[in-house]
């Protein structure tokens, strides 16, 4: 079953063409990284998949249905937007943040049941956060908040987890652990993951596929194939020198040596 099928997608926002001729076919259970520079259209593409932005032309299907239908049905998407909207001083425990992710399942007028709490704790534990369940969310480190937020996104038991630059504002140390953890999720729960990132270097060892997006796809396929100077120059322009001579070269070498 295809989780996502996009054909000839074009998107105009306020008469600016933001995405052009996007084609993507993603199998259920895959982990795809959408990489590209700021302003390249990653968030827009995610919002189209989520049914929040209408295509100007082309066709988008999520598990065979139109995204706005999927969105209305609920429970298909777990979404972690680029900016978290919880104020640091807001007095809410970690476990309550995760429970917020079950409101779609619980229904706004129902009291949470024992099973809801069990599920919240299960996802906290999958994210390695169970011991911090009673801590105020605002007292967690950036990386811990990120993990708790993923537990919240998973708590609604979605079929597709959509992450928009989950590492923005988080220190580099621990990032690879985080990607590793995401990758391992698929062995624990049956889920498809779509992650946008401007960081092409770190994710290549963990994703199944990479799509390089700057207005249109400059590459889509095996992650190793994306680590190519021509593609990277198309994506990032002359800044590619900086990328090529640091992170990515190391990564290429390590991957080539296996």
Point out which residues bind ligand ADP (CB under 6 A).
Answer: 13-14, 16, 18, 36, 38-44
Rank residues 100 and 170 by Cβ distance to ligand ADP and give the closer one.
Answer: 170
Closer Cβ to ligand ADP, 38 or 89, answer by number: 38
Instruction: Between 65 and 216, name the residue whose CB sits nearer to ligand ADP.
Output: 216
Per DSSP, the chain holds a count of helices (H) and strands (E) of 12, 9
The interface partner of residue 18, options being ligand ADP, Mg ion, none and the CB cut-off 5 to 8 Å by kind, is: ligand ADP
| CA 35 to chain CA centroid, nearest Å | 11
| Residue 16 CB, nearest approach to ligand ADP (Å) | 5
Rounded to a whole number of angstroms, the minimum distance from the CB of residue 165 to Mg ion is: 6
Distances (CA, A) of 38 to 45, 73, 143, 196, 233: 13, 32, 22, 11, 14
Q: Choose the one of Mg ion, ligand ADP, none that binds residue 51, judging by a C-beta under 5 to 8 angstroms depending on kind.
A: none
**Nearest-approach distance from CB 181 to ligand ADP, in angstroms:** 23
**108 CB neighbour count, 10 Å cutoff:** 6
Q: Rounded distance, CA 140 to CA 183, Å?
A: 23
Residue nearest to Mg ion (CB): 43
Q: Which stretch binds Mg ion (CB under 5 A): 43-51, 106-114, 123-131, 183-191?
A: 43-51
Residue 190 makes CB contacts below 8 A (sequence gap 6+) with 28, 29, 159
The answer to whether residue 214 forms part of the interface with Mg ion (CB under 5 A) is no
Cα–Cα dist 220/213, whole Å:
9
Could you tell me the smallest distance in angstroms from the CB atom of residue 154 to ligand ADP?
23
Contact between 43 and Mg ion per CB under 5 A: yes
Query: Please, which of residues 4-23 interact with Mg ion by CB under 5 A?
Result: none
Nearer to Mg ion, 42 or 152 (CB): 42
* Separation of alpha carbons 60 and 51, rounded Å: 9
Region 163-192 residues binding Mg ion, contact defined as CB under 5 A: none
CA distance 23 to 96: 39
Tokens 């990758």 locate to: 183
Residues in a beta bridge with 221: 210
């Amino acid at each position: 079953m295809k989780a996502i099928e996009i054909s000839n997608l074009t998107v105009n926002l306020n008469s600016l063409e933001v995405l052009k001729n996007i084609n993507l076919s993603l199998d259920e259970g895959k982990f795809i990284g959408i990489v590209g520079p700021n302003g390249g259209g990653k968030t827009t593409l995610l919002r189209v998949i989520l049914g929040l932005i209408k295509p100007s032309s082309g066709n988008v299907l999520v598990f065979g249905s139109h995204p706005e239908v999927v969105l209305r049905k609920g429970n298909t998407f777990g979404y972690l937007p680029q900016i978290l909207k919880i104020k640091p001083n807001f007095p809410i425990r970690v476990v309550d943040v995760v429970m917020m992710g079950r409101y779609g399942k619980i229904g706004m007028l129902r009291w949470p049941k024992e099973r809801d709490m069990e599920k919240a704790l299960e996802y906290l534990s999958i994210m390695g956060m169970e011991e911090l369940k009673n801590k105020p969310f605002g007292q967690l480190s950036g990386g811990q908040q990120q993990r708790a937020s993923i537990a919240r996104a998973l708590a609604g038991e979605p079929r597709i987890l959509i992450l928009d630059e989950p590492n923005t504002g988080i220190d580099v140390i621990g990032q690879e652990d985080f990607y590793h953890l995401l990758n391992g999720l698929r062995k624990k729960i049956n889920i498809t993951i779509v992650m946008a990132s401007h960081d092409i270097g770190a994710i290549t060892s963990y994703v199944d596929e990479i799509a390089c997006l700057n207005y249109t796809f400059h590459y889509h396929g095996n992650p190793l194939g994306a680590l190519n100077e021509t593609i990277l120059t198309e994506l990032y322009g002359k800044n590619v020198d900086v990328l090529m001579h640091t992170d990515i070269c190391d990564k290429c070498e390590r991957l080539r040596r296996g």
